Amino acid sequence: MERLRKYGFVIGFLAVPVALYTVFVISPYVQAFQLSLTSWNGVSSVVRYVGLDNFGRLFDDDTFWQALRNHGILLLVLPLLTIVIALFLSFLLNLGGGTRGAGMRGVWGSNFYRVVFFFPQVLAVAVVGVLFQAIYRPDEDGVINGTLARFGLGEPIGWLTEPGLALWSIIAVMVWQAVGFYVVLFSAGMAAIPKDYFEAASIDGAGRVRLFFSITLPLLRDTLQVGWIYLGIAAFDGFALIQVLAGDRGEPDGSTTILPITIYKTAFDYHKVGYASAMGVVLFFLTVTFAVLTLRTTRRERVEL
């Protein structure tokens, strides 16, 4: 009877959240899977099932493959750059000052720098996009080009209009915005490492580089795993920022085309909701596959501190 009462309380407590999650998260996924098997235009009351034809069409869609190539670049560069920069800054802020008394300390002004690094996180994505539109303007009124012109360093550069630069310019913005969050995440992980490890290694003559690679990095592996997955998921998104900076045409020459924007255009501009849903299903499975593979390939025995 006691067990029944306990489980009844748990079920009653979870019933509403689970119901809301089912309605607003699970249900749209199921509907997307269903729509991906149709040729529905989003307006007509007639829904014609076409089976797997939409998925077959993806193999001949150049825009789809261009979007996948851009996601591949994002997936390789965004997590790597963000994690490397965030790790370096976190180490400086928490352990870069060396030993002081009985413990380790960060560089001078660490608390102030934490606020500065985290500041981009409090800005809305649309605000960040508008801000960098001004920074990347392709004339001398742009912040970067204006600075280059002031020092006589060449003609204005089309940061968002040159095919070879557009995606990399956007990646730089994504890294800038994300680094602050991961500085906080990695700082929390470093704070959980017993300071005795660093003190003992320092007594044995280990320098800061050795402390980082021999103690900090191995003991942050689980935190790095989480950060890598989050950033990988972000690499499969990027809709709002790219929409603001480069528009929904993937300009220039498709160099900034990504699947979320392609899905949006296909559904609402071309009224091919069924085909757009098929792209959404592919994006869903790509994201899940990435997360699962990352968890499996980075799995290890838990380190007891």
Q: How confident is the model at residue 81 (pLDDT cuts 50, 70, 90)?
A: very high
Note the Cα 299 to chain centre separation in Å: 21
* 235-270 residue pLDDT tens: 998 888 999 988 766 566 788 999 999 999 999 989
Could you report the per-residue pLDDT of 96-112, keeping only the tens digit for each? 665 555 456 677 777 78
Q: Where exactly are the structural domains of the chain?
A: 62-297
| pLDDT at site 104 | 61
Checking if the pLDDT of 33 tops 90, the result is yes
Tokens of 140: 């001398």
**Looking at domain 62-297, which CATH architecture does it have?**
Orthogonal Bundle (1.10)
Q: What is the pTM of this model?
A: 0.86
Task: Look at 3 and 165; give whichever has higher pLDDT.
Answer: 165
pLDDT band of residue 191 (cuts 50, 70, 90) is confident
% of the chain with per-residue pLDDT over 70: 90
Query: pLDDT for 35-70, tens place per residue?
Result: 999 999 888 888 899 989 999 999 999 999 999 999
